[in-house]
Every structure is written in C-alpha cells, then in structure tokens.
Amino acid sequence: HRPFSHEPPWPGVVGAVYLTAPWIQRGLEGSDKGRAEERTPTMGGSDLAALLLLLLLPPPQGSSFASSLASSSAEFGRDDFPPGFVFGAGTSAYQVEGAVDEDGRSPCGWDIFTHSGKMIDGSTGDVAADGYHKYKEDVKLMSETGLEAYRFSISWSRLIPNGRGAVNPKGLIYYNNLINELVQHGIQPHVTLYHLDLPQVLEDEYTGWLSPRIVDDFRAYADVCFREFGDRVSHWTTLNEPNILGVSYDNGFFPPSRCSYPFGIYNCTAGNSTVEPYIVVHNALLAHAAVVELYRTKYQPV
C-alpha cells in the first residue's frame, strides 16, 4: 500500500506509466528509438513520498538506522513543504476491501490467481483489511494521522460485475459512501480506475487485455465512474503501473499468469512471452487514451 506525493498541477486524469520493465524498454528502443531517448528518468512521486514517509514514521525499537532517520526528521515540519504538496496514502481494492463474495461482486483475476495455489503463503484477498466493512474506521484513522489525500482503486468487478452493462447498486453505494466519508473528513479522494484486477468474466470471454475489445469496455466502465463520482473526485488515474500488467504476460508472476518457456516463473499452461506483453501494453495505452479523451470532452471542468 504505497504512499504517493505531489498533487498534479491540474485536476483531471493521469496515467501511472513506469517504463522499468526490460522488455518495455527494449520495445521502445526497437520500435520508437527517437522518442524513447527523449524520456529522462526521474524519481517518481511515489518513490519520493515513500522516502518522506520513512523520515516521518517513528522508528522501531532498537533500530539504529530508523533512529538516525528519526533524528533527521526532527529538522522537518509541514511548513518545509510547498502549500501544494499533498501528504496521503494509497491502496488498491483487492488488497484492502475483502468481501469478495458479497453484495454482487464477481470474481476478478486475483481471486482466480490466489485460489490456484500460486501464493507462497497461501494468502488471498477474501478478507484482506476488511475495508468494505471498516471504511469508516479507516477514514477516521486517516484523519487522525493528518492525511490530506487518499488514493484508492475501484473494483471493476464490484461496480460492474459483468464487465459491461448493468451497474451493481450495492457497489455504487459502497464507493459513494467511501468518497463521502473522505470528503466529510477533509481528505481528497484520488481514484484509480484499474489496479490489475480485471473482471474474470472478460478474461474468460475474450482474453481480457489481449483483445482490442477491452478498450470499449474500459471506456464504458470509466464513463460510469466519472458520471457517478466526478462531482466529488477531481483526481483520477487510469491504469496503475501498466508495466506490471505487461509483466503478467511475460513471466506469469501476476494474473492472468500467462507466459512461455524460458521466461515463465510458473509453469504457465498458456501464453507467449515473446509477443503477448507488447499486445497487452498496446491495448492498455489505447484504453488509457480513450478514457482521457472521454474525460476531457465530456467531464473535465472548463
């Protein structure tokens, strides 16, 4: 559950794109070398905030390293950061909500992955942090901690269980309640539309991100989110770490765990590590662009 840092200079939609996976870098160099060379690696906002969190957290007993960090943190206060700097925390739906079989939610890829014996410790997100039931307690703790923003993701499977079409009323109620609770406590809601938890029904129907059909379904899902929550949410992220989405089809380390020899970490039964990661990220970029265009033309304040 990674903290994040600086508020974008304008409200709207951003994409969390990290060009760190070697196969992505190779693809950029091979297919679009000129543009790839123009990109300058920098310290990401989440990395900076994680460093700041280390400086601000109390040290464990007996930790000389943490003690040295704590002594350094005494030199810093809120006034040492610019007014626009936002202190917050971030989570993802599958890691915190739990309630995977409640109130109409359908399975996502992580449900299938964790129940197939691929987790070393056998853990699942069936209960997780029970955020679905304890969101009020969570927001209260955020407020007491002094957080100014909270980045969370919406479970596509909870909001639109069939992947497209009808909206789940109970899922809609949950996210409205969470957002309202944040606003009432003076905490900015920052919403991520997709955090690697594709509705399994879309994976089963047309192989999910491998198919260009995902673009229209993702845009329709985003349209529902903008329409239902946009009156209180002005900070949106389309896709969390699309590089990791690609890795899921390279080494099989994340759902849907597709890969091929010799790249697969697991004994994948399907996939092509040489081709599929590029197809998936291509479709993810198209989906990101479609959603940004939707927001700018239909929802972004003038």
Given the structure tokens 């900015």, which residue do they identify? 188
Q: What is the CATH number of the domain that holds 196?
A: 3.20.20.80
Helix (H) or strand (E) holding 118: none
Closest CA relative to residue 17, chosen from 159, 192, 148: 192
Structure tokens at 218: 């993702």
Residue 74 CB-half CA count within 13 A: 6
Residue 123 belongs to a domain: yes
Query: Which pLDDT does position 199 carry in this prediction?
Result: 99
At a CB cut-off of 8 Å and minimum separation 6, what does 30 contact? Answer: none
Residue 220's domain comprises: 12-24+85-238
Structural domains in the chain (count): 1
Residue 38 belongs to a domain: no
What are 85-136's pLDDT values in tens digits?
A: 999 999 999 999 999 999 999 999 999 999 998 888 999 999 999 999 999 9
- d(CA 36, CA 29) in angstroms, rounded, equals 6
* Sign, CA torsion 31/249/242/17: negative
* One-character DSSP codes across 197-262: --BHHHHHHH-GGGSTHHHHHHHHHHHHHHHHHTTT--EEEEEE-HHHHHHTTTB--STT--B-TT
Structure tokens at 89: 């925390």
Residue 225 belongs to a domain: yes
What are 144-190's pLDDT values in tens digits?
A: 999 999 999 999 999 999 999 999 999 999 999 999 999 999 999 99
Residue 128 belongs to a domain: yes
Closest CA relative to residue 192, chosen from 15, 5, 7, 9: 15
